[in-house]
Amino acid sequence: MTWLGKAPAGAQSIGQAVLGAALSGAWFSLKVAAVLLPALVLYDLLAPSRTFTRWGRVIAPWLSRLGMSPPCTVPLAAGLFLGIIYGAGVIIPIAEEKKIGPDEVHSLGLFLCTCHAVIEDTFLFAWIGARNPLEIAGRMLVLAGVRLALAVAVTAGRRLWLGPAGGPPRVAPAIRA
């Protein structure tokens, strides 16, 4: 490539740009793996234990208000801590085994679409851009609080709209004259 006059400062060849982008992408992928790998290993160690069963019993009253039952705790934990894709990977086998019904799958999906990967996202943001622990904690609390409040509102709103057993929206009976 030829320039008219002198090349601008910082100009580089296409090969240098591609190499720089590839190295930057590889470094970013390693950072993501450093966050996800320990979380996935911890989840796989805890999933077969009674931890989620106990947790499900403790939060059962809260889950029932959102149209979910204690078997929903495993996909809920996976989605909240690891992300929507891993949460969906846990929901599918549980739904196929008929441990949770279609209404619960719908409630879980709504909740996790709104509030997923709260812990993972926070660590990734911290690793990529946040500078001090106070800033990281502040972002985590705001992110988690807003997403959790929105998820509860959306999921509870779905239950109010469709009713406890799902189905069509509740409509007041017509007054006959």
Q: Which two tokens stand for residue 89?
A: 């990977």
- Look at residue 5 in the predicted model and tell me its pLDDT: 61
- Look at residue 25 in the predicted model and tell me its pLDDT: 92
pTM for this prediction: 0.61
Tens of pLDDT along 46-78? Answer: 878 888 888 888 988 888 888 888 888 888 888
Domain boundaries, the chain: 21-162
The string of DSSP codes covering the chain is ---SSSPPTT---HHHHHHHHHHHHHHHHHHHHHHHHHHHHHHHHHTTSSHHHHHHHHSHHHHHHTT--GGGHHHHHHHHHH-HHHHHHHHHHHHHTTSS-HHHHHHHHHHHHHS--HHHHHHHHHHHT--SHHHHHHHHHHHHHHHHHHHHHHHHHHHHHH-TT--SPP-PPPPP-
For the ranges 92-96, 111-115, 132-136, the lowest mean pLDDT is seen at: 132-136
Torsions phi, psi for 83 (to 5 deg): 125, 165
Instruction: Give the mean model confidence (pLDDT) for residues 93-103.
Output: 85
Tens of pLDDT along 99-110? Answer: 888 888 888 888
CA distance 75 to 86: 8
